[in-house]
Amino acid sequence: MHTIKSIARMLVVPLMAVVVAAQQPQLAQLEKQFQKQYASIQSKFADGPEPALSPAERHEMVGKWQDELAARFARAAATAGEIMKLQPPNLEMWREQRDTLLLYSQPISPPETRTVFGDTEVQKKARIFKQPLAVYPDEARQAKAKGEVRLRLVLAFNGTVQHIFAIKPAKHGLTEAAIAAARLIEFEPAVRDGRRASQYATFVYKFEDGKALPPSVPATSF
């Protein structure tokens, strides 16, 4: 004879299966939407600000470009949040994605209101003492691929690399290889107001002739 508890379990399991099955199409749709939004951010970076004839006009164009980038980051972050509500198996990955997108969606504001700073806003810049080469992936080797991956990230106050975003991606696994290498960067955090601080940084990972070249810091952040 079944007890009340055993009957309840028998009912709950099929119900959970129905809920999961109903969520799968919604999750797939949201993930597809997120991929498009993510690609639109990278496309906006690739396009850059509109050309300008004067310094004043250039300043205006850059401002508009930054505002549109922030809006695209915000839309993608919102979609990541909706995906998280469905409790996908890779929930922590989506949480990291959302938090990264939210950070880069914030408009330019006074340093006093932020927790991450540019290298000119700290008294002592982060000092990198180990920056491993990326691993040239087999997929890229088979395709004889070459390219450049540009990453924007945060050298956090606690000595970890956080909030990595591929400003300029590359195919055949090169982007993933660059991100994996960036996570292994070892550094002494920046200092602001006498305390450890988180600092924005941009790195370029180049791949050519079947190998990864030493990463470099570009002349401009974006």
C-beta of residue 64 within 8 angstroms of C-beta of residue 96: no
Please, what is the average pLDDT of the chain? 89
Give residue 4's pLDDT. 57
Residue type at 112 in one-letter notation: E
Confidence (pTM): 0.84
**What's residue 25's pLDDT?**
84
- pLDDT for 15 equals 45
* Residues 185-222: tens digit of each pLDDT: 999 999 999 999 999 999 999 999 889 999 999 877 66
| Of residues 44 and 17, more confidently modeled | 44
Per-residue confidence (pLDDT) for residue 109, from 0 to 100: 83
Q: What is the pLDDT of residue 149?
A: 97
What letter does residue 30 receive in the DSSP assignment? H
With a cut of 50, say whether residue 18 has pLDDT above it.
Answer: no
> What pLDDT, on a 0 to 100 scale, did the predictor assign at position 33?
97
Q: What is the pLDDT of residues 44-69, one digit of tens each?
A: 999 998 888 888 898 899 989 999 99
Query: Structure tokens of 96?
Result: 């990291």
Parallel/antiparallel/unpaired status of strands 116-117 and 195-208: parallel
- Share of residues in the chain with pLDDT > 90 (%): 74
Give the CA distances from residue 129 to residues 49, 186, 188, in Å, rounded to whole numbers and listed in that order: 34, 6, 8
How far is Cα 206 from Cα 46, in angstroms, rounded to an integer?
17
Question: Residues 95-134: pLDDT tens digits?
Answer: 999 999 999 998 888 888 899 999 999 999 999 999 999 9
9 has a pLDDT exceeding 80: no
pLDDT at 14 over 80: no
Q: 162, 182 in Cβ contact below 8 A?
A: no
Query: What pLDDT score does 3 carry?
Result: 60
- The pLDDT-based confidence of 147 (bands split at 50, 70, 90) is very high
Tell me: pLDDT of 10 over 80.
Answer: no
pLDDT value, residue 107: 81
Taking residues 3-31, what's their average pLDDT? 63
Q: Is the model's pLDDT at 13 over the cut of 60?
A: no
Compute φ and ψ for 147, nearest 5 degrees.
165, -175
N- to C-terminal Cα separation, the chain: 69
